[in-house]
């Protein structure tokens, strides 16, 4: 185990001190959801996933001006699309902020999962996909789409299927959470980050590949 229970407890206290009560409760919800999914999906490294969940929104409550100051301070490369999606900038500012302020937790998995938790990334691995989905479906999310997706994913994970089936359920959850986000943005005539669309297409391809594997397994 990369991080001990004591280390994770002190991280919870540090994060609690930094975030509003609402954001802290959301953070704990993401941690619980992510740990639960991780236990089912290919024995992902749970302590790193917990740390990633605890730190994923650590810069979320900074103002837009503060995000821009951090981008300048840490010389973060941002695209025009990133700047057109200001709500996603905290995923980019979090990594260098964590390296500076929480160096013990600046683990590769932690930083990579946090860096793609808002817009996604076409080649997200299982741990990254877990944080991405957990952020959308944690129990504090009460939108109909989040509740529906949470119930659907948890019921799939409750079935005692193969790890391949668990990863398939996770893959479908990534696709559906992006579809919901994109529809919401389009309804509001808002900009959709192109990486989000590329991520959805990549996961549709990955889902279809897993379905073929599951099918061929049934036939043999
Ligand atoms: Fe979040």
At 176-208, the pLDDT tens digits run 999 999 999 999 999 999 999 999 999 999 999
Centre of ligand 1 to C-alpha 148, Å, is: 18
CA-based max dimension of the chain: 58
Per-residue pLDDT at 162 = 84
Per-residue pLDDT at 43 = 73
Reported CATH class of domain 5-219 = mainly alpha
Centre of ligand 1 to C-alpha 218, Å, is: 38
**pLDDT reading at 157 higher than 80:** yes
Centre of ligand 1 to C-alpha 219, Å, is: 41
Say how far apart CA 220 and CA 218 lie, in whole Å: 6
Centre of ligand 1 to C-alpha 27, Å, is: 6
- Print burial letters for 120-154: b (CB count within 10 Å at least 16), e (below 16): bbbebebbbbbbbbbbbbbeebeeebbeebbeebb
**Are the C-beta atoms of 95 and 58 separated by less than 8 Å?**
no
Centre of ligand 1 to C-alpha 215, Å, is: 35
**Are the C-beta atoms of 72 and 102 separated by less than 8 Å?**
no
Which DSSP category does 57 fall into? Answer: T
Centre of ligand 1 to C-alpha 198, Å, is: 21
Centre of ligand 1 to C-alpha 54, Å, is: 9
Centre of ligand 1 to C-alpha 156, Å, is: 23
Say how far apart CA 220 and CA 217 lie, in whole Å: 5
Residue spans per domain, the chain:
5-219
At residue 160 the predicted structure's pLDDT band, cuts being 50, 70 and 90, is low
């Amino acid at each position: 185990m990369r991080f001990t229970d004591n280390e994770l407890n002190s991280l919870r206290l540090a994060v609690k001190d930094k975030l509003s009560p609402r954001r802290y409760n959301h953070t704990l919800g993401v941690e619980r959801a992510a740990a639960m999914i991780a236990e089912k999906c290919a024995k992902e490294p749970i302590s790193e996933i917990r740390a990633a969940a605890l730190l994923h929104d650590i810069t979320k409550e900074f103002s837009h001006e503060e995000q821009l100051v951090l981008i300048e301070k840490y010389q973060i490369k941002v695209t025009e699309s990133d700047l057109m999606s200001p709500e996603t900038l905290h995923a980019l500012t979090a990594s260098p902020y964590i390296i500076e302020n929480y160096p013990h937790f600046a683990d590769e998995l932690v930083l990579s999962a946090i860096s793609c938790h808002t817009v996604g990334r076409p080649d997200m691995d299982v741990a990254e996909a877990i944080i991405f989905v957990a952020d959308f479906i944690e129990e504090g999310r009460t939108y109909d789409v989040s509740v529906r997706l949470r119930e659907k994913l948890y019921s799939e994970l409750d079935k005692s299927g193969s790890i391949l089936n668990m990863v398939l359920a996770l893959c479908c959850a990534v696709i559906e959470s992006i579809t919901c986000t994109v529809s919401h943005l389009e309804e509001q005539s808002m900009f959709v980050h192109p990486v989000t669309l590329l991520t959805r297409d990549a996961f549709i391809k990955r889902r279809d590949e897993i379905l073929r594997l599951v099918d061929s397994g049934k036939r043999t």
